[in-house]
Amino acid sequence: MRSNRATVRAGVSLAAALPMIVGTLALGIPAAHAADGPARDVLKGTRPLWATASADKGATPDSARVEARVYLAGRDRAGLAAYARAVSDPGSPQYGKFLSAEKAQARFGATKAQVAAVKSWLTSSGLTVTAVTPHYVAVSGDVSATERAFGTQLHNYTKGARTYRAPARTASVPAALQGAVLTVTGLDNAPHKAHHDDRLPPPDAVFKNAGPFSSYYGSNVATGLPDAYGSKVPYAVKGYTGKQLRAAYGAGTYTGRGVRIAVTDAYASPTIAYDAGTYAVKNGDAPWKTGQLHQVLPKNYTKTEECGAAGWYGEETLDVEAVHAVAPAADITYVGAASCYDDDLLDSLSKIVDNHLADIVSNSWGDVEANQTPDLAAAYDQVFQLGAVQGIGFYFSSGDDGDQVAASGVKQVDTPANSAWVTAVGGTSLAVGKGEKYLWETGWGTLKASLSADGKSWEGFPGTFTSGAGGGTSRTVPQPYYQKGVVPKSLATANSAAGNRVVPDIAAIADPNTGFLVGQTQTFPDGSQRYSEYRIGGTSLAAPVIAAVQALAQEARGGKPLGFANPVIYAKYGKKGVYHDVTDNPTGSGLAVARVDFANGYDAAGGLLTSVRSLGKDSSLAAVKGYDDVTGVGSPAGGYVQSFRRR
């Protein structure tokens, strides 16, 4: 399962590793299996790292049921990766020569013969085919049939406090299939998920900010509260709106007209049309036009309790309202997954690619790198590459727990943001002043100190780490070519002398203390359900903001899709006026805001909590001059969108 990343009171963590090499898939490449009998091809990465001999609890009973997906490699997987790179690289003669969805499938998809061969092998092993898509063949059956099909025993292993099934050795398939199989998922039954976090309040429990507020950064100074960093600090903003964000990131007169943006999350808010429409009218955004917002939803939802389904309503609301606020004329399609599990989220991404529902895809979900398995990484990367050859770009939030040490105990990045085929979006704290003037940004990282009982000091100032933009160096993904020469060698080689992928690529507003105002239908203590507004943040906000800015850039480019944008994002690095070079202490004096919150989350009946939130304090990560692993190349400046104009 994956978790959404929006943040109200603190941050949400998420991330994982996609072991792939730019130019070729590094997973599922056939290799001879050292076994007796007919030759078999090994599916690398299908035995999870936690399935060790010391954790082995013995064979899984033959009668236990297995649900698996056999992902299809297609007719030319190496060619797919190569073409995806070529059409995305501005230095390539094939740059921008995108294929239609139909032509991409015809050129790189699985052939009828490959699908038939895979189905025949699976059924002859005793498995039942339950679904066939352009991407995979789904099967079910007992353990004994599964073991026959994939050439490995299934054992039970301890993983933490739980016991899960997993292959005792790497799975394999008959060599006679001639490389038709990319990988298989479902042989292990550990949940591939990250838990929903209560920092995004579900609509059945109202959340409201207490105030006082600033209407813009610094408009309301907390003169009655103690100093921080030698001076009085302003109250947190009530929540920036579209007009302020458009000014901060150089929207100019562009509105995203003619551009299609997709948003993916799990489940679907039943009040999204009303909430988005009400919010736009109340906060000065352009009214929604008939047919401008679409939803593509599954027939049935699953795991609603396990995934905290209601909590995802707020994620969808944030994403849709943020995109419309920055790109008010863009066409938006929300694609909801049946659950927060990887298989269902992959299905949502595949719908976008198979039907080319949009050119730009915003994704505010993920998991820690250590939780991602190579089999799923291969499946994700194949979808991203199929999108790239069609001119579709994917934008993923980088995570909300900094280097993840505080949340997971391990310094690591997030996934799918760590894929070399997506644009990872980091987070900032944003100061927009009077008249929508851009003042500065820091890397998003928050320390919290509470007001002392006598009201004269901040206890333990500057306080403890609560949340911050995800970033760092992947342990599994090799360094992509487009980062070379921009990402400092010390970051790229932090985990390998050969160099690895560093996250993020670009950044935008994420800090909930300088966050975005959203409107959502929520349930109040008296049982009534009604529209309400609150401030929110997280890299769940940064991703849709950058997606919207990319829509403005596509419009400026005459409507031609940007496709997989990283090669262009890095090619523009260093050009005057294109990026804000975000650093952690832009004023040189230390920065903080004061916050007053309802103890019970919605009114003063339970008391008030007053705190000071220091800005630019992201765990062990630091936003420094030049590229850094909190904000990447920086945030879009006034010249970013303009740089895409056709000369």
Instruction: Encode pLDDT of 302-317 as tens digits.
Output: 999 888 888 899 999 9
For 483-637, where are the alpha helices, taking DSSP H only?
Answer: 489-492, 539-556, 566-571
Q: What percent of the chain has pLDDT over 70?
A: 93
Dihedral, CA of residue 367, residue 373, residue 375 and residue 378, to nearest 10: 50
**In this structure, what are the phi and psi dihedrals at residue 365, rounded to the nearest 5 degrees?**
-160, 165
| pLDDT surpasses 80 at 400 | yes
Tokens of 278: 């009400």
pLDDT at 484: 97
- 101-108 and 342-355 helices, crossing angle to 10°: 110
pLDDT at 204: 59
pLDDT at 193: 62
Q: What is the DSSP string of 274-295?
A: HHHHHHHHHTTPPPPPTTSEEE
Report CA-CA distances (Å) from 353 to 8, 105, 237, 284, 335: 32, 10, 38, 33, 12
Report CA-CA distances (Å) from 622 to 356, 427, 430, 473: 38, 12, 16, 13
CATH topology of domain 3-18+197-642: Rossmann fold (3.40.50)
Q: Are 634 and 546 a contacting pair, CB within 8 Å?
A: no
**In this structure, what are the phi and psi dihedrals at residue 492, rounded to the nearest 5 degrees?**
-60, -35
Q: What percent of the chain has pLDDT over 90?
A: 87
Q: What's the CA gap between 12 and 314, in Å, rounded? A: 14
Per residue in 121-143, pLDDT tens?
999 999 999 999 999 999 999 99
Per residue in 14-30, pLDDT tens?
233 222 223 322 333 33
Mean pLDDT of 432-458: 98
pLDDT at 228: 98
Report the mean per-residue pLDDT for the chain: 92
Prediction pTM value: 0.93
Dihedral, CA of residue 114, residue 120, residue 121 and residue 124, to nearest 10: 180
pLDDT at 8: 44
Q: Are 295 and 336 a contacting pair, CB within 8 Å?
A: yes
Mean pLDDT of 237-252: 98
Q: What's the CA gap between 436 and 449, in Å, rounded? A: 29
Report CA-CA distances (Å) from 219 to 147, 222, 494: 66, 10, 42
How many Cβ atoms are within 10 Å of 345's Cβ, its own excluded? 28
Sign of the alpha-carbon dihedral angle for 376, 380, 382, 383: positive
Nearby residues of 331 by Cβ (< 8 Å), 6 or more positions away: 259, 260, 261, 292, 294, 358
Which helix (H) or strand (E) is 344 found in, with range? helix 342-355
Tokens 């050119």 sit at which residue? 359
Per residue in 471-499, pLDDT tens?
999 999 999 999 999 999 999 999 999 99
Q: Are 423 and 394 a contacting pair, CB within 8 Å?
A: yes
Q: Residue 608 half-sphere exposure, CB side, CA atoms within 13 Å?
A: 12
How many Cβ atoms are within 10 Å of 458's Cβ, its own excluded? 22
Nearby residues of 74 by Cβ (< 8 Å), 6 or more positions away: 80, 108, 109, 110, 114, 182, 382
Q: Are 550 and 395 a contacting pair, CB within 8 Å?
A: yes
Q: What's the CA gap between 335 and 321, in Å, rounded? A: 15
| pLDDT surpasses 90 at 111 | yes
Mean pLDDT of 157-176: 95
Reading phi first (left if > 0) and then psi (alpha if -120 to 50, else beta), residue 250 is in left
Q: What's the CA gap between 210 and 193, in Å, rounded? A: 33
Per residue in 254-287, pLDDT tens?
999 999 999 999 999 999 999 999 999 999 999 9
| pLDDT surpasses 60 at 1 | no
Mean pLDDT of 574-582: 97
Per residue in 193-228, pLDDT tens?
643 333 333 455 789 999 999 999 999 999 999 999
- CA 395, distance to chain mean position in Å, is 7
Domain spans, the chain: 3-18+197-642, 40-185
